[in-house]
Amino acid sequence: MTVAKAETAAPCTLFLFGANGDLVKRLLMPALFNLQRDGLLDPRMRIVGVDHNPSTDREFAARLEAFMRERDQGNEGTRCFDEKRWGRLVKRIHYLTGDFLASTTYQDIAQRIGKSGIGNAIFYLATAPRFFAEVARQLGSAGLLDESNGFRRVVVEKPFGSDLASAEALNASLLNVMNEKQIYRIDHYLGKETVQNILVSRFSNGLFEAFWNNHYIDHVQITAAETVGVESRGGFYDHTGALRDMVPNHLFQLLAMVAMEPPAAFGADAVRSEKAKVIGAIRPWSKAMALKNSVRGQYTAGKQGRKKLPGYREEPRVDRHSQTETYVALKVMIDNWRWVGVPFYLRTGKRMSVRDTEIAICFKPAPYAQFRDSDAERPKPNYLKIQIQPNEGMWFDLQAKRPGPTLAMETVELGFAYKDFFKMRPSTGYETLIYDCLTGDQTLFQRADNIENGWRAVQPFLDAWQHEGEVQPYAAGDDGPAAADELLARDHRAWHPIG
Ligand code: BG6
């Protein structure tokens, strides 16, 4: 998130480890294409795909092109393909056949850097997570992380660890061969305009700060509902589950944006220190409290409209008796001066009724006394809804008098929809993140302590679920198990409707 004018980034070689994987073709290459469209890539920049399958520059580029063309027919929001522009990008694209575990691969990389005459290099680890530490070690042993001839940066994709211990171990391995300033830990939610906007809206409108605390806010709900199931990722997902997949990373990033203190500046250290502080202030539940404050769900066969959907256990590469959660709802408390006493309810699930990622901030209700003698119902609480996707925008629920002779109230909305104010160019969300890495801005990347604090806060749930509690069924196409409603009903609250 550059605070100055976006200018062409310095030249470098971008090595994409895991070049034949989904991420490169679905997101990284379209993002690079868009960055070139916007004139943000230096003409000398090179992109080198690295993977073990033997291939040539030409074949690699042809596969990417075929995918980009096919994608344009679809509906993924990046309709951007343009023959002429692709022609310019393709000249930069190269391929290096190499085993991630073999030292010869890294000698070849060193040779490519030497020949290019440009010392700057970025190593993007879009590989399976089991390779992260080893690739970093090999880069270090080959001297490729030495910055005397230009910058050397390493981008690490998600998942970053699978619990607190593994995340700490991965951080230690990375920091053994490079320093924190060289590490770019990705959370793609931070590439979303609507997520970055939370910071800007909160801290550029004096109005918000006045009521952004436990005097006026009753509770906060963070929802990431998806309609997709586990698709072809059953093998990965069955060992991961909704908690690990979405909470310590994406949902905690949203929570941090809402709950953090104002940073002293929009710089990487100031922003990330505030985030680390607020995530670190999440109350560590005891085992009993973690069980009480969490609900796990798993989708069974159901329907979306007329379409019949299989249950999770019928999905490919999923254990027929799996206890993995595809839905999770949690209550967390932040023990600091601003938020003490304000519950944050988080929920995320696959195969829900609609796609909806939103933050609903519920304000304390107005007193009823003045309406007591009228027929009016108790005033409903005001909600500020920050809609991350789709229908990006912000809406505020207000109570207004319904026209007529009697005193009656109705909820109305003040709203701002992105599409009404801004012309949004097609993008994947990775453009900003790649550009920031090219220009050395770490604001939107996770620092080691951000990651570890996130895992520290979810670890009590992982521990508690190991031997106790069960996944609750919900039908595909529904909004999660009944127990999730009870989690809030117990506190005399209810989920804000999805969609
Ligand atoms: C990924 C998860 O990190 O985020 C997926 O692994 C999930 O399971 C995805 O579907 C959601 O991202 P988005 O941008 O579609 O909300």
pLDDT given for residue 82 in this prediction: 85
356 assigned to a ligand binding site: no
* Interval 337-354 mean pLDDT: 98
Q: Compute, in angstroms, the gap from residue 330 CA to the centroid of ligand 1.
A: 18
Residue 242 has pLDDT above 80, yes or no: yes
- 133-190: pLDDT as tens digits: 999 999 999 999 999 999 999 999 999 999 999 999 999 999 999 999 999 999 999 9
Sign of CA dihedral 285, 291, 294, 297: positive
Residue 130's Cβ-count burial label (10 Å; 0-12, 13-18, 19+) is exposed
Is 468 one of the annotated binding-site residues? no
Name the CATH superfamily housing domain 190-489: Dihydrodipicolinate Reductase; domain 2 (3.30.360.10)
Nearest CA to ligand 1 atom 14: 189
Query: Is 13-157 CATH 3.40.50.720?
Result: yes
- Strand pairing category for 409-417 and 393-401: antiparallel
Cα dist from 212 to 208, 268, 417, whole Å: 6, 23, 22
Maximum Cα interatomic distance, the chain, rounded to a whole number of Å: 84
The residue written with tokens 């085993």 in the block is 99
Check whether 382 has a pLDDT greater than 80: yes
CB-ligand 1 contact for 158 (6 Å cutoff): yes
Which residue has the CA at smallest separation from atom 4 of ligand 1?
A: 246
pLDDT tens profile 458-484? 999 999 999 888 899 999 999 999 999
Percent of the chain with pLDDT over 90: 85
**423 annotated as a binding-site residue:** no
Please identify, by atom number, the ligand 1 atom nearest to the C-alpha of residue 389: 16
Say if residue 75's pLDDT is above 60.
no
Grade residue 485 by pLDDT with cuts at 50, 70 and 90. very high
For residue 435, count CB atoms less than 10 angstroms from its CB and return exposed for 0-12, middle for 13-18, buried for 19 or more: buried
Token output for 247: 């909470």
Distance CA 220, CA 226 (A): 20
CB 194 near ligand 1, within 6 Å: no
Give, as one character, the DSSP assignment of residue 125.
Answer: E
- In a 13 Å sphere around the CA of 49, the CA atoms on its Cβ side amount to 29
Classify 399 as helix, strand or coil.
Answer: strand
Dihedral of the alpha carbons of 388, 392, 398, 401, in degrees to the nearest 10: -150
Q: How far is CA 471 from CA 32, 195, 246, 278, 497, in A?
A: 41, 30, 17, 29, 22
Indicate if ligand 1 lies below 6 Å from the C-beta of 245: yes
- Which of 389, 442, 397, 439 shows the shortest CA–CA distance to 417? 389
Segments making up each domain of the chain, as ranges: 13-157, 190-489
Predicted confidence (pLDDT) per residue in 268-321, tens digit = 999 999 999 999 999 999 999 999 999 999 999 999 888 999 999 999 999 999
- Cis ω on the peptide bond leading into residue 43 (within 30° of 0)? no
User: Which of 70-74, 353-357, 377-381 reaches the highest mean pLDDT?
Assistant: 353-357
Q: Which of 227, 250, 387, 446 to mutate to test the pocket of ligand 1 (most atoms within 8 A of CB)?
A: 250
Q: Mapped to the 3 state alphabet, what secondary structure does 277-314 carry?
A: HHHHCECCCCHHHHHHCEEEEEEECEEECCEEECCHHH
Asked whether residue 369 carries a pLDDT value surpassing 80, the answer given is: no
Judging by beta carbons within 10 Å of its beta carbon (0-12, 13-18, 19+), is residue 450 exposed, middle or buried?
A: buried
Residues tagged active-site: 250
